[in-house]
Amino acid sequence: MSQAELTAAHTAASFNEDSGAHSGLTPEEKRQSKRNLRRRKLIATAFVIPLIVFVLIAFIAPIGTMLYRSVYHPTVAQLIPETLQALQSWDESGDSIPDTATLNVFAKELHYLAQERRSGKLAEEINRGLPGSSSTIKSSARKLKKLDEATLISEGGEHLLAAKKQWQDVRIWRTMKSSGEVFTDSFYLTATDLTRNEQGEIVARDTNIYIKLFAKSLKIALLITFLTAAIGFPLAYYLATAPAKVANTLMVFVLLPFWTSLLVRTTAWIAILQTNGVINDFLITLHIISEPIEMLYTQFSTVIAMTHILLPFMILPLYSVMKGIDPSYFRAALSLGAKPLSAFCRIYFPMTLPGLSAGALLVFIISIGYYITPALVGGTDGQMISNIIAFHMQSSNNWELAAALGSILLILITLLYWIYDRLVGVSNIKLG
C-alpha cells in the first residue's frame, strides 16, 4: 500500500471514530470539529503553496506561453495593420481583387516597410501561405520604395499593379487576408501535413513531413522500449534472484551508468561507433571486416545509445517488483510438475507485469521526447520530433510551427503520463 493510501485509510478510520460518536456531539462540538478539519487542510496547503506558485511561474506559465504561441501569430497583423483593416470589407470568395482604395493603402504600407527594411519579413510570411509570392512582394517593394507619399495615397494601387502582374491574382490577396488573422490554426495544419485550399477547405499536403516524423519517433521509441525490456528483464531477474550480497554489488553496475552524465555516455558512444572507433578497429583487427562500417550518424546509433541510456529506467522498476515476488510460487509450480517454461510464463511473468509496465511506460515517455542523443549521434536519419522542434526554434525561426509541433508532442506525453499515473501512480516513481 502506498503512503497516500495508508494515510487516507488512517484518516478514514479516525473520521469514522468521529462519526461513530456523532449522535453524542452537540452542534457546537460539530462546528468545532469541522473548523479543526479546515484548519488542518489549510496548514497542509500552506506547505505546498510556495512550490505551487513557483512551479506555476517557472514551469506551467512557460508551457502555457508555448501553447498560446502555437495559435497566436501577430507578425503580419503588425506589419500591415491598415491594409488588413481595409481588407475587412473585401469579399474574398469572389473573383475580383480588392478595390483601389485598399490597394492604395497597401502600396503605402509596403512603401514604408521597404524603407524600414521589413518588407522581406512580410514576403517570408506570405510566401508560407502562397509559395512564389515572396519575389512578387520583394520586387514590388523595391519599386514602391522610391515613390513619394502623395503619389502613393492617390495612385499607389496603379503603381502596385504595374509593378507585378501577380497583384491581379486574387489568391495573393486571399493569402494576405488569412495570414493577417492574429489567431490561426494554420500551424497545427502544417504540423499535421494539412493545408487549406483556395476554397478554404482542409486538405492533405503533397509533402508528408511531420506525420512521418511523428511516426518515426514513435517507432524508434517503441523499438527502444522493446530492447530495454528484452535485455533488462533477464538482468533484473538475475539480480532479484541472486544472493543479496552479489546483487548489491552488481547493482552498482546498473546505478553508475544511471548516474553518469548523459553527455558522457553519448560521448562514449561516439568514440565506440565512429569510423575509426573502437568497434570498427576491433572488427578490422580480427579480420572480420576489411572496410570500416558507417555506424555513427544513423538511426542505428540513436537506437543503441538511447537503449544504453534508458536501460536503468527499465531495470530499476523491474528489479523492485521482482524483489517482492516470493520465489516459492515458482518452486511450487516446478515441484507440482510444471515445465520451467510454462511455470515461468504462467506464474512468474504475470507477477512482474506491474514493474514491466512501469518501466516500459517510463522508457517510452522519456524516449519519445529525446533531443540531445539523436542530435549528436543520429545524423539525418536518426532525428526525432524534438530535433525538428529545435530546428524550427533555432534555425528556421518558425517559432509558431515549433510551438504547434511541441503542443502535439505535449498532448501525446500528457496522455501517456495520465496512463502512467492510473497504472503506477506518479508518486511511486523509484529513483536509484
Partner 1 sequence: MQFPKYFNFWHKLGMHSLRLTAWAVLAFLMLPILVIIPLSFNVEPYFSFTEGMLAFDPDAYSLKWYAEIINDDKWILAIKNSFLIGAAATVIATVLGTLAAIGLSRADMPMQRMIMAILLSPMIVPLIITAAGMYFFYTQLGLAGSYLGVIIAHAALGTPFVIITVNAALSGFDYSLVRASLGMGASPSYTFFKVIMPLIRPGVISGSLFAFITSFDEVVVILFLAGPEQRTIPRQMFSGLREQINPTILAVAVLLVVVSALLLLTIEYLRARGERIRTGQIS
Using the rule CB under 8 A, which residue among 30, 31, 40, 219 binds partner 1?
A: 40
Closer to partner 1 by Cβ: residue 169 or 281: 281
On whether the CB atoms of residues 233 and 375 are closer than 8 A, the answer is no
Does 345 participate in binding partner 1 (rule CB under 8 A)?
no
Does 256 participate in binding partner 1 (rule CB under 8 A)?
yes
DSSP state of 412: H
Say how far apart CA 325 and CA 355 lie, in whole Å. Answer: 11
Sole window of 16-24, 163-171, 247-255, 318-326 interacting with partner 1 (rule: CB under 8 A): 247-255
Closer to partner 1 by Cβ: residue 151 or 398: 398
Using the rule CB under 8 A, which residue among 41, 117, 146, 346 binds partner 1?
A: 41
Does 149 participate in binding partner 1 (rule CB under 8 A)?
no
Closer to partner 1 by Cβ: residue 87 or 239: 239
Query: x/- string (CB under 8 A) for partner 1, residues 363-382?
Result: --x--xxxxx--xx------
Closest of 257, 233, 371, 273 to residue 308, by C-alpha: 257
Does 54 participate in binding partner 1 (rule CB under 8 A)?
yes
Sole window of 21-29, 110-118, 167-175, 269-277 interacting with partner 1 (rule: CB under 8 A): 269-277
Where does residue 184 fall: left (phi above 0), alpha (psi -120 to 50 degrees), or beta otherwise? Answer: beta
Sole window of 24-32, 45-53, 140-148, 153-161 interacting with partner 1 (rule: CB under 8 A): 45-53
Pick out residues in 387-416 that bind partner 1 (CB under 8 A): 389-390, 393, 399, 402-403, 406, 409-410, 413
Where does residue 379 fall: left (phi above 0), alpha (psi -120 to 50 degrees), or beta otherwise? Answer: left
- The H or E element containing residue 293 is none
Where does residue 193 fall: left (phi above 0), alpha (psi -120 to 50 degrees), or beta otherwise? Answer: left
Does 269 participate in binding partner 1 (rule CB under 8 A)?
yes
Q: What angle do CA 251, 253, 258 make, to 5 degrees?
A: 95
Closer to partner 1 by Cβ: residue 22 or 41: 41
Using the rule CB under 8 A, which residue among 51, 150, 244, 288 binds partner 1?
A: 51
Query: x/- string (CB under 8 A) for partner 1, residues 296-325?
Result: ------------x--xx-------------
Provide the minimum distance between the beta carbon of 26 and partner 1 in the complex, in angstroms, as a whole number.
24
Residues 6 or more apart whose CB falls under 8 angstroms from that of 147 comprise: 111, 156, 159
Q: What would the 3-class secondary structure string for 3-48 be? A: HHHHHHHHHHHHHHHHHHCHHHCCHHHHHHHHHHHHHHHHHHHHHH
Where do we find the cell 516446478? Answer: 334
Does 427 participate in binding partner 1 (rule CB under 8 A)?
yes
Judged by CB under 8 A, the number of residues near partner 1 is: 98
List, in sequence order, every residue forming a beta bridge with 72; answer none if it has no partner.
183
